[in-house]
A and B are shown apart, each in its own frame.
Chain A
Amino acid sequence: DAGVIQSPRHEVTEMGQEVTLRCKPISGHDYLFWYRQTMMRGLELLIYFNNNVPIDDSGMPEDRFSAKMPNASFSTLKIQPSEPRDSAVYFCASSARGGLTEAFFGQGTRLTVV
C-alpha cells in the first residue's frame, strides 16, 4: 500500500485566494483526520470523519475552513479566503476501526499564505 497520500506537498498562495488540500487515505481505513501543525499550537485536530461522515469539526478554526469526504478514497480541506495566519503544515491521517489501531500520516502539505 502506498500509504496516505496528500497533495500538493507545498502550496504558496496570496492572501484572499482559495486553497484546496487533498488526501487519499489508506484503502480500508474507516477514519480520516485532518490536522494542522504550527510551532505555537502544535498538532491540532481540525476535523475527523468516520465512514465518510464528519463526526467532529469543533477544531475547524473558522467558517473559512471546510472539509469534505465524498467517498472512502478521497477528502479535501478547503480554505476560502486564505489568510497569512493559515500558514502551517496540514496533515491528513487515516486509521482502521478499533481503539488500538494507530493513525498513519501523510507527508503533509506545507501551506504559505503571503
Chain B
Amino acid sequence: QKEVEQNSGPLSVPEGAIASLNCTYSDRGSQSFFWYRQYSGKSPELIMFIYSNGDKEDGRFTAQLNKASQYVSLLIRDSQPSDSATYLCAVKAGGTSYGKLTFGQGTILTVHP
C-alpha cells in the first residue's frame, strides 16, 4: 500500500463548478496534511494545510480532514480555468519519522470554459 494515494484523474469540471480532490494515507501517526498545486513545468506551491479533524476554508478552497478514515480532501469552489493544474496531497509524518513529507501521485485537474 502506498503511503499517500490520490485519484490520478484526470478530473475535468466546467468553469464555475466545484472540483473535489481526494487523498488517503496509511500512517495513523501522521500529524499534518498539505495541498500543493503544480502548474506544468513549475515547482509545487502550497495552497493550504490542515491538521485538525474537520474543515478549513481559505477563499475558494476548503480542506477537509477525517483522521479516523485517514482521508483528506480539497474542494475548489467556483472553479476557474486558471485552476487547471496538478494537485498534490502531502502528508507529514510524526513519531520516529517526524518531519518526513511524502506526496501522493497527484490529480490532474482541467477546468474548461
Residues in chain A within 8 A of chain B (CB atoms): 31, 33, 35, 41-45, 48, 50, 55-56, 91, 93, 95, 97, 99-100, 102-103, 105-108
Contact of A43 among B92, B99, B103 (CB under 8 A): B103
- Chain B residues, Cβ within 8 Å of A33: 101
Helix, strand, loop or mixed for chain A's interface?
Answer: strand
Complex CA–CA separation, A91 to B94 (angstroms): 23
Complex CA–CA separation, A63 to B46 (angstroms): 32
Once A91-B43, A107-B43, A108-B43 are accepted as A-B contacts, the answer to whether A99 and B51 lie under 8 Å apart by CB is: yes
CB pair B94–A99 under 8 Å, yes or no, is yes
Shortest Cβ distance from residue A7 to the other chain B in the assembled complex, whole angstroms: 14
What are 26 A-B interface contacts by the 8 Å CB criterion?
A41-B105, A42-B104, A43-B44, A45-B101, A45-B103, A48-B100, A48-B101, A50-B99, A55-B97, A55-B99, A56-B100, A91-B44, A93-B101, A95-B101, A97-B99, A99-B51, A99-B92, A99-B98, A100-B49, A102-B34, A102-B46, A102-B49, A103-B46, A105-B43, A105-B44, A106-B43
